[in-house]
Chain A
């Protein structure tokens, strides 16, 4: 790998990778993706907390990125594009977490999506509706924690880390509070709509 390639910007490498279908372009693509392979892996590892599974996800994400390079128009920074690719891979693989039920046992290693009522609600109403619900009913720290947990699928201890929560219970305490408030908010909503009753939780 030449020093010139190592010092080239992401944008320059992307340009070379897209414009040159030969070996030079592919070497540029390799250098560009190599800059992000560690970050992609670490992101996946922190999401699933299991090395082999994280490697699978990271590999899939990197291959997605490689095959999508030709479609990436370069209107945004490459770092956020490849983040979006890795995030999509993780979100597809991770089971969404309940918006209202507390998690007594962490089961992040379960693959696939589970169609619980909240997931169905999110799918039906859309993330904007969820955003409004969360914003109207939760304090700022609780909003971030519940979103990271339930939509992004981030593990609880990782939320504690990224939000730099100092307290001993970390994100778990925030999530419990947030879920209690959301249960109450959804109950009020059902009552106002005349649906009445509780869901038995």
Chain B
């Protein structure tokens, strides 16, 4: 193919130039350049999608696929509830046989250890909550329950940290549970109606110490009724 008067990778930069800028004028002088610019602008500003495109679901599938390619939990990559797009046999394959090979080489040992514990904890807790009619695992719907989604902990001044989650409609109080690496109960902290819990270095819940790697999980309740349970997430106590 002939040498190009511009590179396609420059399109975003050229599209941002005023119409009379020499680079843009030069690009638009050719049918090819003008067509590519139109095509790029349609990509960058696609407008309202056709209803039959099913954009939200497609995006969720793509994000999940990318998350899996990156060996991330979908929640970490911002993927939604939909599964990845590959054959279900592959996407549902148990991690036990293959994941150690792929993860262990890429992850830092400490982070890998925390994830191992988190996965084991998730399995254990899913069994533990199996009797609950409204069970949430990793922020995804199970049955008809509403999702409780954990938000990334927010570091505060003086070594404090704020645990946060999305409020659950109808919940009048929350409870945060901490588990140790051996899955033992460490602490259970009632939080009232606020969707947050601040951990202060000098006032940690009994059983939780600075520097510990723990797992945490939030349960939303209305009265004695459990509305939702969050994923189990790893946390390093500052």
- Spell out A's residues near B (CB within 8 Å): 1-3, 21-23, 26-27, 29-31, 33-34, 37-43, 45-46, 51, 54-55, 58-59, 62-63, 66, 75-77, 79-81, 83-84, 86-87, 126-131, 134-135, 138, 140, 143-144, 146-148, 151-152, 154, 158, 161-163
Contacts and interface: CB of A to CB of B under 8 A. Distances in A.
Contacts of A66: 66, 69-70
Given A76-B9, A80-B11, A126-B1, A43 B43 contact: yes
A83 B77 contact: no
A45 B50 contact: yes
B98 to A, nearest CB: 17
A55 B2 contact: no
A151 B2 CA distance: 14
18 contacts: A1-B77, A27-B70, A27-B76, A30-B78, A33-B63, A33-B66, A51-B54, A51-B58, A55-B62, A66-B66, A77-B13, A83-B40, A83-B43, A84-B9, A134-B31, A135-B29, A146-B31, A154-B39
Given A51-B52, A126-B2, A37 B7 contact: no
Which of the listed residues B47, B62, B70 has the most CB atoms from chain A within 10 Å of its own CB? B62
Contacts of B111: 22-23
A98 to B, nearest CB: 16
A42 B53 contact: yes
Contacts of B53: 41-42, 45, 51, 54
B11 A83 contact: yes
B32 A147 contact: yes
B23 interface: no
B182 interface: no
B34 A143 contact: yes
A40 B39 contact: no
Chain A at the B interface: mostly helix, strand, loop or mixed? helix
Of all A-B residue pairs in the complex, the 3 with the closest CB atoms, nearest first, are: A30-B77, A76-B9, A143-B31
B20 interface: no
Contacts of B7: 76
B44 interface: yes
A39 B43 CA distance: 6
Given A23-B72, A79-B43, 16 more contacts: A3-B152, A38-B58, A38-B59, A41-B58, A45-B55, A54-B53, A55-B61, A58-B58, A59-B65, A127-B2, A131-B30, A131-B32, A134-B31, A135-B29, A143-B35, A147-B34
B90 interface: no
- Chain B interface residue number, banded: 35 or more
Contacts of B72: 23, 26-27, 30
A59 to B, nearest CB: 6
A17 B183 CA distance: 33
Given A42-B49, A76-B13, A30 B32 contact: no
Given A146-B31, A152-B39, A37 B62 contact: yes
A55 B67 CA distance: 16
Interface string B70-112: 1110001111000001000000000000000000001110010
Contact of A34 (B2, B44, B46, B63): B63
Contacts of A63: 65-66, 69
Looking at A27, A42, A43, A162, the one whose CB has the most chain B CB atoms below 10 A away is A42
A34 B10 contact: no
Residue of A38, A51, A62, A163 ringed by the most chain B CB atoms within 10 A: A38
